[in-house]
Amino acid sequence: MDPVPAILRAGLRVRARSVRREHGIRGSAPDAAVGSGQQPDPRRRDTARRRARFALKRVPTMRVVRESSSQPLTIDTRRNQLGAGGEGTVYSVGGGLVAKIYKEPQSRREKILAMLANPPADSSTPDHDSIAWPLDALLESAPPGRFVGYLMKRVENAGGFREVAHFLDRVQKRPHFTNYELHVVALNIASAFSALHKKGYVVGDVNDRNILVTELGLATLLDTDSFQVPKQGRSGCFRCAVKTPEFTPPELQKVNPRTVDRRVEHDLFGLGVLIFQLLMQGNHPFNGSDDNGWSIPTRIEKGNFPFGRKQRPISPPPQAPPLSVLDDELGKLFVRCFDDGAGNPDARPTAAEWRRSLDHARQQLATCKANDHHRYPPGGACPWCRIRRDFSLGNGQGLDYFPDAASAQIPLAKPARGKVLGGSGQTVSGTFTSRRSLRRPPPLVPPVAPWSGSSSSSSGSTSTSTAGTGVTAPTGTGSTSSTGSITPTLGQLAWKGLGALASAYLNNLVAGSSHGQNSAVQDDIGAGVWELQRMTPVPPLTPGPLLLGTQVNLLGNGTFTGSGLLLQMYVQTTCQLSGQWEYNAYSNRLKFAVMVNGYPAVYNEELRILSGSSGQFQLRASDGSDWALRRQF
């Protein structure tokens, strides 16, 4: 047998297989066909058995049709999934649209059809929806064509509410936002609420997780299928079955949301909280200092608004700006919402009132001559300069809520103008600095030198190893050993680990290690000022550089260095400390090491997260003591 033709034939077969793979042709070459009654050759790779293996690798798809037009849609359920929850899964379907497919669709069908039949009047700003409302129902493509979900627009180029409202996040992610832009965002949110309320809808579960904000200050309300929706053609409503305690009015704090029909006045409380957080640098209106250690929901239930006119057993957080930084009318609306509205829900300002007052206030804002990022109500000195001067960070810098982050002001193209939701006027949008001209603002606190030590990882867990186990204390403080160091108890140092915990989440676990779990907790905790209180009674201890049993405020600014976060504690003595941490998402534990007052202080301990939400976390130390961490702003 001539070897040359045999080699050529083999080469041609290889070439044929390559062409078939390149063009996506399944099956074998003609010379490998299996005739009737003929068994495939197990030694061949291009037989019928090969075709079966190809079929098993096909990408799973879902075929649905739009109810209004019968347009077919094919969803790649593996590649196009955007998110999943207890109710269903969201997929991208192209064309700027997404589909939400329910796990139990028939229980949702009537509510979605009622929403489609009566949509709210959305903003007329082109290419933007203030409310992520259903556009069309989706049905199975195969008979009998049962309801499976709905179609809605995809929100593009937008970030979370917190990166706008909380100033430590804002100076990192939106450094071009000034007080003017915050008024714009608040106005747009109030406009969306006003449009919903005019149609008889109630948001119900008002919270900061379901709001996205674009670079132009345009806001979008999400999770609309959880809203309370009136039933079509008959009395009653589809209730909102969930609530977020930090945004829930006092009269509903202890009420099961599944058992009550919400009213617009209930929404107005949560709307007031959102606007307060935007204009007051992320502070919750019921955050403050008291002797009882009450949580924010408990303070809401008791009506303890620390910024109000009435005498309350609570005072505002020391780092929070006063209401005087706001327009007088806005300050009065907050008092009506949280002070008067505590016992009289009807006293709360409507969304339309908020919109009008915010629009007036933003037009009146003056610009500081010393810093053009400082915008404030006219008629006095710049309050932001005063706060920067009076609120020292202990490092030669003051607390600046709006640092000058731009080297030049370049106006962007103005968006198309249109009607404000629910009324006459124009859609507002700020004039912003081009991203290309931005320079990163200086950190609120200076970076610290890297730690000397090593880290190791094995078997899916992380750990930090450092040299030493004691704290070197300043002269004359605490009890010292012959080496000049004291051995601290966890009660003395646990709160520093919590500061490092905030650093870990702020930096999105850049310096630590995460395995992709507990993402909800990562989203909830972040940069800010946190009030920490030890809930377990503190035993008598020798006074040291840290005073125990005291509520403290942790002011953190994320720096992307191996040293973690530099924090400041405001108690009888001022301490600066940095934390180095390693986070294990599987065990939900944090290992940390700290430095106190510039002295090397190395201490390793693990804290376990028991539970928590956006404003408060409960942790337990290895000595069994319980700790509560509450966001100040």
Structure tokens at 578: 């940095």
What proportion of the chain, given as a percentage, has pLDDT over 90? 40
Q: Does residue 443 lie within any of the structural domains?
A: no
Report the number of distinct structural domains present in the chain. Answer: 4
Flag whether pLDDT at 79 surpasses 50: yes
Q: Does residue 468 lie within any of the structural domains?
A: yes
Confidence of residue 147 (pLDDT cuts 50, 70, 90): very high
**DSSP bridge partners of 609:** 619
Domain that includes residue 490, residue range: 453-631
Q: Does residue 282 lie within any of the structural domains?
A: yes
Confidence of residue 605 (pLDDT cuts 50, 70, 90): very low
557, 443 in Cβ contact below 8 A? yes
Predicted pLDDT at 20 = 60
197, 349 in Cβ contact below 8 A? no
Q: Which long-range contacts (CB under 8 A, 24 or more apart) does 388-397 make?
A: 391/319, 393/444, 393/445, 393/555, 393/568, 394/568, 394/574, 394/576, 395/445, 395/446, 395/576, 397/442, 397/444, 397/445
Flag whether pLDDT at 228 surpasses 70: yes
Spatial distance between the Cα atoms of 18 and 177, rounded to a whole number of angstroms: 55
Residues 253-288 have pLDDT tens digits of 999 999 999 999 999 999 999 999 999 999 999 988
Indicate which CATH number applies to the domain containing 71: 3.30.200.20
Predicted pLDDT at 424 = 29
pLDDT higher at 304 or 463: 304
Three-class secondary structure assignment of 254-285: CCCHHHCCCCHHHHHHHHHHHHHHHHCCCCCC
Instruction: Indicate which residues carry an active-site annotation.
Output: 205
Q: Does residue 274 lie within any of the structural domains?
A: yes
Predicted pLDDT at 301 = 95
Predicted pLDDT at 520 = 31
Q: Both 187 and 255 in a single domain? A: yes
Most trustworthy range by pLDDT among 1-5, 317-321, 350-354, 470-474: 350-354
Predicted pLDDT at 6 = 66
Q: Both 165 and 226 in a single domain? A: yes
**Mean pLDDT, the chain, as a whole number?**
67
Positive or negative: CA dihedral 457, 461, 467, 473:
positive
Most trustworthy range by pLDDT among 121-135, 158-172, 567-581: 158-172
240, 202 in Cβ contact below 8 A? yes
Q: Both 568 and 469 in a single domain? A: yes
pLDDT higher at 546 or 120: 120
Question: Cα–Cα–Cα angle for 304, 625, 454, nearest 5°?
Answer: 115
Positive or negative: CA dihedral 73, 76, 80, 81:
positive
Predicted pLDDT at 566 = 28
Predicted pLDDT at 3 = 54
Q: Does residue 447 lie within any of the structural domains?
A: no
Q: Both 252 and 339 in a single domain? A: yes
Sheet containing 147-153, strands listed edge to edge, beginning at the edge strand earlier in sequence: 72-76, 61-66, 136-140, 147-153, 97-102, 88-94, 81-84
Q: Both 531 and 413 in a single domain? A: no
Spatial distance between the Cα atoms of 594 and 603, rounded to a whole number of angstroms: 6
| Residues 6 or more apart in contact with residue 60 via CB below 8 angstroms | 76, 77, 78
Q: What is the mean pLDDT of residues 544-563?
A: 29
Return left, alpha or beta for 422; rule: phi > 0 is left, psi -120 to 50 is alpha, else beta. left
| Residues 6 or more apart in contact with residue 267 via CB below 8 angstroms | 193, 197, 202, 203, 204, 206, 351
Residues 66-78 have pLDDT tens digits of 999 999 999 998 8
Q: Does residue 444 lie within any of the structural domains?
A: no
Q: Both 490 and 412 in a single domain? A: no
Confidence of residue 12 (pLDDT cuts 50, 70, 90): low
Q: Both 24 and 97 in a single domain? A: no
Predicted pLDDT at 316 = 87
Predicted pLDDT at 311 = 75
Spatial distance between the Cα atoms of 242 and 228, rounded to a whole number of angstroms: 10
Most trustworthy range by pLDDT among 105-109, 438-442, 481-485: 105-109
Flag whether pLDDT at 626 surpasses 50: yes
Predicted pLDDT at 188 = 94
319 closest CA partner among 291, 282, 349? 282
303 closest CA partner among 295, 294, 312? 312
Q: Both 49 and 67 in a single domain? A: no
492, 546 in Cβ contact below 8 A? yes
Q: Which of 56, 75, 90 is the last residue of a domain?
A: 56
Q: What is the mean pLDDT of residues 611-629?
A: 65
Q: With H, G, I as helix, E, B as strand and everything else as coil, classify residue 577.
A: strand
Q: Measured between alpha carbons, how far apart are the two ends of the chain, in Å?
A: 86
Q: Both 503 and 484 in a single domain? A: yes
Q: Which of 138, 153, 168 is the last residue of a domain?
A: 153
Helices 179-198, 351-364: inter-axial angle, 10-degree rounding: 160
Q: Both 299 and 374 in a single domain? A: yes
Tally Cβ neighbours within 10 Å of residue 342. Answer: 22
Spatial distance between the Cα atoms of 584 and 527, rounded to a whole number of angstroms: 19
Q: What is the mean pLDDT of residues 73-95?
A: 89
pLDDT higher at 617 or 340: 340
Q: What is the mean pLDDT of residues 125-150?
A: 90
Q: Does residue 529 lie within any of the structural domains?
A: yes
Predicted pLDDT at 561 = 27
Whether the predicted model's global pTM rises above the 0.85 cut? no
Sheet containing 219-221, strands listed edge to edge, beginning at the edge strand earlier in sequence: 158-160, 211-214, 219-221
Flag whether pLDDT at 100 surpasses 90: yes
Flag whether pLDDT at 618 surpasses 80: no
Beta strands in 67-157 (DSSP E): 72-76, 81-84, 88-94, 97-102, 136-140, 147-153
Q: Both 287 and 373 in a single domain? A: yes
Amino acid, single-letter form, for residue 126: P
Q: Residue 257 — φ and ψ, nearest 5°?
A: -65, -20
CA atoms within 13 A of residue 461's CA, in its CB half-sphere = 9
Tally Cβ neighbours within 10 Å of residue 79. Answer: 11
Q: Which of 117, 138, 153 is the last residue of a domain?
A: 153
Spatial distance between the Cα atoms of 164 and 179, rounded to a whole number of angstroms: 11
Indicate which CATH number applies to the domain containing 273: 1.10.510.10
**DSSP bridge partners of 95:** none
Q: Does residue 534 lie within any of the structural domains?
A: yes
Amino acid, single-letter form, for residue 253: Q
Q: Both 395 and 416 in a single domain? A: yes
Amino acid, single-letter form, for residue 380: G
Residues 338-360 have pLDDT tens digits of 999 999 999 999 999 999 999 99
524, 534 in Cβ contact below 8 A? no
Residue with the two structure tokens 């009008």: 356
Question: Cα–Cα–Cα angle for 386, 392, 395, nearest 5°?
Answer: 140
Q: What is the mean pLDDT of residues 167-192?
A: 92
Kindly state the helix (H) or strand (E) to which residue 15 belongs, with its residue range: helix 3-22
